[in-house]
């Protein structure tokens, strides 16, 4: 079967990673969570007190950042390593969620991340999820999926996910963060979140995980046969 690039974009917490992970497992493709890269960069900036308005500080900091993915058999996805340290858990914390969109809006940060993402796609057979994958990272991807879901469903899903590790979190806090990130992500100057003209839309508000996988697999089949 022909190997393709699958680009999955959409708003925060609409199930992009879940779908990407399902597809990668089914097709034996590599799954890359591009958001983890921006989160790891935000973590480095926070830890090292980088002033994001200082271009020199930002470019110097990027020179000291090395990002890698390492497969985790327990979760079935890859953990991100920041300069060799597994930071998968830390990057999901609220302190990072509150900072990451600002960091991801910086041009130098995007150039740094997009370049690495494009290298990962050279051999195809990859599913990458994010905000600009179908528009900027892989404008020629054979399959582009734009995932959507109602805000209430997205908040609920994120809340349940975060409860496991951050039991003190409130629904309001989760909603505020999602709305804030969606706003920054879709209104930034450089490669904002938007649906690629040739993307297919998948609204999973009322779909089970199995339903959404089946729909996406049908699209894959149409493009690989």
- Determine which residue in the list 121, 181, 196, 199 makes contact with ligand DC, applying CB under 6 A: 181
Contact 127, 24 (CB under 8 A): yes
- Determine which residue in the list 131, 144, 154, 158 makes contact with ligand DC, applying CB under 6 A: 131
- Determine which residue in the list 39, 77, 144, 158 makes contact with ligand DC, applying CB under 6 A: 39
What is d(CA 80, CA 72) in angstroms, rounded to the nearest whole number? Answer: 10
What is d(CA 4, CA 94) in angstroms, rounded to the nearest whole number? Answer: 34
Interface segment toward ligand DC; rule CB under 6 A; list 30-38, 61-69, 161-169, 209-217: 30-38
Is residue 104 near ligand DC by the rule CB under 6 A? yes
Is residue 132 near ligand DC by the rule CB under 6 A? yes
Contact 7, 143 (CB under 8 A): yes
**Would you give the binding string for ligand DC spanning residues 48-77, x where CB under 6 A is met?**
------------------------------
Nearest 10 degrees: CA dihedral of 71, 73, 79, 82? -70
What is d(CA 71, CA 179) in angstroms, rounded to the nearest whole number? Answer: 31
Point out which residues bind ligand DC (CB under 6 A). 12, 34-35, 38-39, 100-101, 104, 130-133, 181, 185
């Amino acid at each position: 079967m022909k190997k393709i690039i699958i680009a999955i974009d959409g708003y925060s917490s609409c199930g992009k990673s879940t779908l990407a992970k399902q597809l990668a497992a089914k097709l034996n493709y590599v799954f890359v969570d591009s958001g983890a890269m921006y989160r790891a960069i935000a973590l480095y900036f926070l830890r090292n007190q980088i002033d994001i308005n200082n271009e020199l500080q930002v470019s110097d900091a990027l020179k000291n950042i090395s990002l890698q993915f390492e497969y985790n058999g327990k979760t079935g996805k890859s953990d991100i390593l920041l300069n060799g340290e597994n930071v998968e858990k830390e990057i999901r914390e609220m302190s990072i969620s509150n900072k990451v969109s600002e960091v991801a809006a910086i041009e130098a940060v995007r150039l740094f991340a997009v370049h690495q993402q494009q290298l990962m796609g050279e051999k195809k057979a990859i599913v990458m999820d994010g905000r600009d994958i179908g528009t900027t990272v892989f404008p020629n991807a054979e399959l582009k999926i734009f995932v959507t879901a109602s805000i209430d469903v997205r908040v609920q899903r994120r809340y349940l996910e975060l409860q496991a590790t951050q039991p003190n979190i409130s629904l309001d806090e989760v909603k505020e963060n999602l709305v804030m990130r969606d706003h920054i992500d879709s209104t930034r100057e450089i490669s904002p979140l938007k649906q690629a003209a040739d993307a297919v839309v998948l609204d999973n508000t009322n779909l089970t995980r199995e339903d959404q996988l089946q729909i996406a697999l049908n699209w894959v089949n149409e493009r690989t046969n």
